[in-house]
Amino acid sequence: MQLENIKYNEILSFNETRSVESVEFYALDLKPQDSNKILKQYVSKLPQLKDYLFLKRFKRVDIQSDSDTSKDFVHTFTNCTENDNLRILFDNNNIKLTILLSPVSEVSLEELEIIYKASGTELELEFSPYIVNVPKYQPLTRDQFNQCKDIWPVNFKEIKIGKEPLTATEKANLTIIINKLINNNDQDGVSNNLNSVIITDLTKKSEDNDSILIECLHSKPKTPVDHAIMKSIEVVAQKERSKRAIHIDNILKRKAIDNDDITTDNDEGFEKGYLCKDLDVITLQEPCAMCSMALVHSRIRKLFYINTHKSGCIESNYRMHQLNDLNHKFRSYRVDL
């Protein structure tokens, strides 16, 4: 059987896939010409919005229809009188602004009023704060942004670095490798707890080199230490130790110097400790907690797996490949045959 139309579903972090949540803020309606005044005299004395810097401070509202025009107002803090667009906005009596003051959880309405009176700020509209809902978290994806902006204007810059789609070379190599995994395992191996792992560099054309570096097939272990991924990483470690031994031996022969004078940690690309740095792992089963941590510590580039598992720690639990508390992240994909 030769599979061709294989689909790859990237497993994003929980932060990237969570639903948009809201939090309550105190807000205030004001005339556009009062915006600079209230920022300098009043808002500057309120608690800083350090956890909500992605929120735009102002929202523009059409007074005539009393409906949100879905246009946000970006306030100019300096030289505002030289801004033609701002002057036009100031002269428009049909426009009002809604400004965010502070989260409801951080300050009371009474405190807002006390600070306002102490500031000596005078506004054309009555000082009458009310509660609005705004996005609780910064949007990380285009979909989250589209949901957030319907609630309140937000700043959003889409992250594209590290989010590039799979290349033609990667897909071509994956097709070969996944077919190899499937063909080397009967249906029991694919659908049950048997696992197979291949470690390779998907960025290199398979005809240009021996693309498969490590291959561990038909593994059905009794303990996590014996899982196919752990065994594969151990094989990588053995090969790395062998390479380094040969490397040191060559230096000794070339330089004819003592061992005490040799430094090999960074010579010719040998990076100590990162066994699978920039390599790709293709496996039948979603990795468990121990295997996932081993992949993090080995600094792999990408992971591909076919079956999810209730004990898996990539898609099924934790999203360990994208945890902020760990010192390495890698992209992961579920393979749909």
- The b-or-e profile of 294-308 (16+ CB within 10 A means b, else e) is bbbbbbbebbbbbbe
Q: Residue 38 CB: number of other CB atoms within 10 A?
A: 22
Q: Answer yes or no: is 157 within a domain.
A: no
Per the model's pLDDT, the better-predicted residue between 224 and 130 turns out to be: 130
The Cα 48–Cα 62 span in angstroms is: 28
* Residue at 222 is within a domain: yes
Backbone angles phi, psi at 249, to 5 degrees: -60, -40
One domain for residues 132 and 187: no
Q: What is the pLDDT of residues 274-305, one digit of tens each?
A: 788 999 999 999 999 999 999 999 999 999 99
The verdict on residue 1 lying in a domain is no
Residues 200 and 281 in one domain: yes
Q: Band of the pLDDT at 150, cuts 50, 70, 90?
A: very high
- Binning the chain into helix, strand and coil, the percentages to the nearest 5 are 35, 20, 40
Inform me whether the pLDDT recorded for 20 exceeds 80.
Answer: yes
Q: Is the pLDDT of residue 176 over 60?
A: yes
170 & 121 share domain? no
Angstrom distance (rounded) from CA 213 to CA 210 = 7
| Whether residue 174 sits in one domain with residue 297 | yes
Number of structural domains, the chain? 2
What is the CATH number for 125? 3.30.70
Q: Are residue 129 and residue 223 in the same domain, yes or no?
A: no
Give yes or no: residues 112 and 192 share one domain: no
Residues 45 and 172 both lie in one domain: no
295 and 196 co-located in one domain:
yes
- The model's pLDDT over 256-272, given as tens digits with 9 standing for 90+, comes to 655 555 444 444 444 45
- Asked which of 67-76, 87-96, 202-211, 301-310 is least confident by mean pLDDT, the reply is 67-76
Identify the pLDDT of residue 164. Answer: 93
**Residue 286, domain member (yes or no):** yes
Domain of residue 103 covers 22-136
Mean of pLDDT values over 28-37: 94
200 token code pair: 């390779």
pLDDT at position 223: 87
Q: Residue 100: inside a domain, yes or no? A: yes
CATH code of the domain covering residue 316 = 3.40.140.10
Judge if 103 and 38 occupy the same domain: yes
Quick one: what percent of the chain has pLDDT higher than 90?
59
| Cα–Cα distance measured from residue 51 to residue 138, given in angstroms and rounded to the nearest whole number | 9
HSE-up of residue 282 (Cα within 13 Å, Cβ side)? 24
The predicted structure's pLDDT at residue 161: 77
pLDDT computed for residue 248 by the predictor = 62
85 in a domain, yes or no? Answer: yes
309 & 170 share domain = yes
CA proximity to 298, closest of 279, 270, 325: 279
Which pLDDT band, with edges at 50, 70 and 90, does 88 fall under? very low
* Residue 152, in any domain of the structure: no
